Chains A and B, each alone.
Chain A
Amino acid sequence: MSIVALAAEGSTYETPGVADFWQPLIGSGAFAITRASIVIMLSVAILSWLLLAGTKKLTVVPSKGQFATESAYGLVRNGLGRDIIGSHDFLKFVPLLFTMFVLILLNNLFSVIPVVQFPTMSRIGFPAALALVVFAVYHAVGFRKHGFVGYFKSIIPAGLSIGLMIPIFLLELITDLFTRPVTLALRLFGNMFAGHLLLVLFIGGGEYLLLHGAGGLKIAGVGALGMGFVMTVFEILVQVLQAYIFTLLAALYIAGAVADEH
């Protein structure tokens, strides 16, 4: 990180920027293995181990690990699956929703976990990939339900005057094809990106002020580090919330494609 290098020099302070998110560790260029890819592979390994260990020996009276796993699974299956998609055909989508929820949650929380401290969702590729998966799923569900032409017919509301039908059809088409998946990805990306920038600014800036500031600025450094602590707690809330909202919106889009009338 650039902050560590500059602390050794002690000369100037660079505010954190977009370049601080590009951290290639092995190799360079387009196929480098960056910190983000290592963190997400680590998160997949940890999640696999946690979920397998939590469901290894299932008993009727659950142990603590099994209870924690069942609670997390129950939250997504009931609160996001059954209550949103409806009890008829929500079971097919629960694996997708649960996987996305725990993956995004763990990767978001990695932003504040001490050694790792990098939110993988702050690189636009990861939320974009997840939003692309959701996009493929809800359009496939819509096509399967209404047929190819019927799907396009079903997005126009009934009772519209003829002259407005084409502009409104284009508008609805653009929301379904472009706005909904793009805002899904951008919401997650923007929150994680801004949160990480804030944390780096407060903690790095506080450390710089404390160690290299003139007399009165050292007190400002202590204040900045205090704000860093407050922002860390706030960021935990935002991270959990963003994971929940991503999964909630994915479930809503799928429910909208599954529903009969618009």
Chain B
Amino acid sequence: MSQEPPAPRPRPGEVPTSTREADQAWRAFAYLLSGPLLYGGAGWLLDHWLGTSFLLPLGIVGGMALSVYLIWFRYGSR
């Protein structure tokens, strides 16, 4: 058995690296779902109130674009 120094005492707020990666993966998937849902829903509400019909697909596509941008910003560009 090798004589290794004991592992440093864990400090509050540190999570293992594998947790950070797994958390990023699940968060990315949650962003992909929420973007179209939130902005598509907002577009649908505005359609309902204003009587138009193009704001719903605009909201879905815009929300998806925002989600992909957020995923790129957080996890892709560093």
Residues of A within 8 A of B (CB): 83-89, 145, 157, 160, 164, 167-168, 170-172, 174-175, 178-180, 183, 249, 252, 255-256, 258-260, 262
Contacts and interface: CB of A to CB of B under 8 A. Distances in A.
Given A157-B74, A175-B27, A256-B23, A88 B34 contact: no
B67 to A, nearest CB: 7
Contacts of A255: 15, 19, 23
Contacts of A168: 66, 70
**What does DSSP make chain B's interface, helix, strand, loop or mixed?**
helix
Contacts of A179: 30, 33-34, 37
Contacts, number: 84
Contacts of B73: 157, 160
Contact of A85 (B11, B15, B33, B69): B15
**What does DSSP make chain A's interface, helix, strand, loop or mixed?**
helix
Interface of B: 10-16, 18-20, 22-23, 26-27, 30-31, 33-35, 37-39, 63, 66-67, 69-70, 73-74
A91 B3 CA distance: 28
Given A168-B66, A168-B70, A171-B66, A86 B14 contact: yes
Contacts of B20: 259
A85 B19 contact: yes
The 10 tightest CB contacts between A and B, nearest first, are A260-B13, A88-B10, A179-B34, A87-B10, A175-B34, A86-B15, A175-B30, A259-B15, A174-B38, A179-B30
A255 B12 CA distance: 11
A88 B30 contact: no
A171 B23 contact: no
B34 A83 contact: no
